[in-house]
Structure 1
Amino acid sequence: MASTTDSSVLRSKDLLTLVTAFQAGWYADTRILLPLFSGKFAVVRQVGVEATEAVAPGGGLLCTSDESLRRFDKVWAPWYDTHHGLRGVRRLLRCRDSCRYVLYIHACCFGYVDVVMELVATWPMCTKMPRYLDLSAWNGQLHVVEYLQEHQYDECATTAVDWAARHGHLKIVMFLNGPVTPPEHCTTMAMDWAAEGGHLDVVTFLHHHRSEGCTTDAMDWAAQNGHLEVVVFLGTHRLEGCTTLAMDMAAQNGHLEVVQFLHDRYAHVGCTTDAIDLAAMHGHLAIVQFLTENRPEGGTVDALNWAAENGHLGVVTYLHPQVYDSHAVTVAMDGAIQAGQLDVVKYLYDFRVDPLNMWALAIARERRHRHVLEWLHWAMNPISHQVQPDGRGCI
């Protein structure tokens, strides 16, 4: 039988750790992380590089989806806090060296500057990895950006200002424009993206402190997303203007005040027939009325068809008197029948001159719009039915 001394040696935690350090595999306390490193992480190409073009080493922006990064951090953060920070990271890297790639992405995006420093110090390939600074700026990690700038690990950074502007990180935009000599490069995408996201403070700063400017995309995208203050600022202080896409998309998304401003300031640019058509599709009656009464472009029969199909009775009743093609009413009602829009069907029924479309009825039956079929059966045979399908007495 082993002596007490021998037994204590065999049960020594420190000795067991030393022995297992020379074995392949994962430490017990790192196994919870194993699933996080089994997937493939995507390489997102640099903005402005076509998907068919080759990307030079270091030219891609290595990252993964926001959702994947959040899932990773949900497991990583408590593990990192529990297992002594960098000591745990070093043990993890002894298990699988390829973990460095994922750790690099996560550390830059979530602000683990100590992990960034560890990777820079121990991994020569890290200096060739794409865009530390861009990743950190993209996710608003100012302290990581400051560290990378201070130690000049930003040779591959070309879009840091653009990414920071896109996500509204004004402090990072200001930092990259301030103490850095020379200031970090950016493109017109910075203001375009900031405008798209409604980041008026970033747009204002870039306008006053950068020379790159923007493109018509800035106002187009801001209008599309209903950022009226940004649209007004761009229209007041900049000369790029917009395209017809601005009013078209603002109309589609129901941004009446934006449509009105664009009409007043950029009447010469105007819109296309898509403006009324798409506004009608989404039931924006006030915009349909405004455009009809104030713009010359008009709409197409698609406006009535799409409004009917989507059940926007108010738009249908407004547009119908302006449609002089009886066949257009037939097409609109057919779409309403197929989509199960009974109120629209009831309204258009009295204006229909063509026979009912058997194909439309078949589709309604296939989609189980029984309420529409029953009402149509009653409407075509009112004498033999004393009560309507909705329970009201026959007139």
Structure 2
Amino acid sequence: MPATSAAAATVVTSPELMRCIFAHQCGVYEDILPLTKLLPLHLSNRSLYFLMIGNYPVFRHHLDHFARGFTPWLKVHGTSSLPRLFTCVISMPFTVELFSACVGHLDIVDFLIDHDYVDPSIPLMDLAAWAGQLAVMTHLLARKPRDETSKHHTLTPTTLDWAACNGQLNVVQYFTKTMMAPCTTDAMDGAARCGHLDVVQYLHANRHEGCTTDAMDRAACYGFLDVVQFLHVHRQEGCTHRAMDAAATGGHLEIVQFLNERRDEGASSDAMDGAILNGHLNVVKYLVDHSSVSTSSVDVLHAALALGDQPMTAFLMNRFCLEGDFWSDEDNHHNDVVDYGIITGF
């Protein structure tokens, strides 16, 4: 065999040399290609992160789908192949970071930290707290950080705030009992906003940070009557008129009734406007019959007419007597709505 052929054979049969050659070529390794299809193309690093904190169930659905493909690959290739994966797919380091923190994969957590693949702007500790991964959190605390300024090994007030907001009672309990780790009013505010009554109750009974009016305002907005009732009975922060405004806009009649009958903050015209524009006729009827709240302008009534909501418009025709031919709505061609009101006698 000629010397050149022998040299070529040596190169192509050497995995180490071939990896060096392939590193300078465009493309994706065959074993990695399936991993690129595990997450929707529109989910960038930032959008995946915001999905995690904005809609955790949907985020977990995507993460579980990713795990079904990534876990078998990892079992075959190990963490030593992660740099090759990260070189091929630029968004993969952050995706794997989320995966390791949220499912509790300590080997990957250690690898990412040791090789500086962790996103410095989003502490691993906070990600683990959001996901309720107590094992990851205690593991991070036990590690000696190379960089003393790193937040990946530290419990900050944000850490427990995140855990409380996502309903991770086990995390809140553990770090309250073992070290009274810090948090802020965002903890109870966030837990109330997301309907985690058990967390709200625990924070109330075992911590001193309290909450703000945002707690009841947001709980009312998202329809968590049990949280609103608990805050009303046990806390002194109260709420603002935005509580009833948001509850009415969202169609949460029981909360509107509770706030109107038990509290004095009242509501603004946004309550009636929001209920009308979102088609919550039962809320509109209640506000008309049991409160002094009214709509802010004829524009809202005109919008309701333009939407073609027959029962709503018929009710409004009877309750809001306006001058001229307002209800004729000739421009918007909704005479069928007006006829409905006349026929039904609303």
Q: TM-score range by the shorter chain?
A: 0.7 to 0.9
- Alpha-carbon displacement from aligned partner over 1:347-381 (angstroms, at most 9, x marks no partner): 4689xxxxxxxxxxxxxxxxxxxxxxxxxxxxxxx
Q: By how many angstroms is 1:88 displaced?
A: 2.7
Q: Which runs of 5+ in 1 are unaligned?
A: 2-9, 45-61, 351-395
Which of the residues 322, 329, 335 maps onto 1:334? Answer: 329
- Once residues 78 and 233 of structure 1 are traced to their aligned partners in structure 2, the CA distance between those partners, rounded to angstroms, is 44
Matches within 5 A, 1:1-395: 16-25=14-23, 27-33=29-35, 41-42=44-45, 63=49, 65-66=51-52, 71=62, 74-75=65-66, 77-84=68-75, 87-94=77-84, 96=86, 100-123=93-116, 126=118, 130-151=122-143, 153-155=152-154, 157-179=156-178, 181=179, 183-266=180-263, 268-300=264-296, 301-327=298-324, 330-334=325-329, 338=332, 341=334, 343-347=336-340
- 8 Å CA contact 1:166–1:194 kept in 2: the answer is yes
Q: By how many angstroms is 1:34 displaced?
A: 5.4
- Alpha-carbon displacement from aligned partner over 1:93-150 (angstroms, at most 9, x marks no partner): 1464675444323322333222002223343x75956311111112232322232233
- Once residues 199 and 190 of structure 2 are traced to their aligned partners in structure 1, the CA distance between those partners, rounded to angstroms, is 10
Report the CA distance shift for 1:73/1:253 in structure 2 as closer, same or farther (over 3 A). closer
Counterpart code for 1:80: T
- Alpha-carbon displacement from aligned partner over 1:17-40 (angstroms, at most 9, x marks no partner): 344344443654234345789999
- Alpha-carbon displacement from aligned partner over 1:154-191 (angstroms, at most 9, x marks no partner): 23744111111222121122223222x3x322121111
TM-score normalised by L of structure 2 = 0.77
- SS of structure 2 residue aligned to 1:84: helix
Counterpart code for 1:331: F
Counterpart code for 1:112: H
- SS of structure 1 residue aligned to 2:31: helix
Q: RMSD between aligned alpha carbons?
A: 3.7
Larger helix share, 1 or 2: 2
Report the CA distance shift for 1:29/1:42 in structure 2 as closer, same or farther (over 3 A). closer
- Once residues 220 and 129 of structure 1 are traced to their aligned partners in structure 2, the CA distance between those partners, rounded to angstroms, is 30
**Residue aligning to 1:358:** none
- 8 Å CA contact 1:228–1:258 kept in 2: the answer is yes
Report the CA distance shift for 1:27/1:92 in structure 2 as closer, same or farther (over 3 A). farther
Counterpart code for 2:65: K
- Asked which structure has the greater CA Rg, the reply is 1
- Once residues 292 and 158 of structure 2 are traced to their aligned partners in structure 1, the CA distance between those partners, rounded to angstroms, is 42
Q: Which runs of 5+ in 2 are unaligned?
A: 2-8, 53-57, 145-151
Q: By how many angstroms is 1:265 displaced?
A: 1.6
- SS of structure 1 residue aligned to 2:303: helix
- Alpha-carbon displacement from aligned partner over 1:325-364 (angstroms, at most 9, x marks no partner): 223xx334428x62x64531324689xxxxxxxxxxxxxx
Q: Percent of aligned positions with the same letter in both sequences? A: 34
Of 71-80 and 309-318, the range deviating more from structure 2:
71-80
- SS of structure 2 residue aligned to 1:178: helix
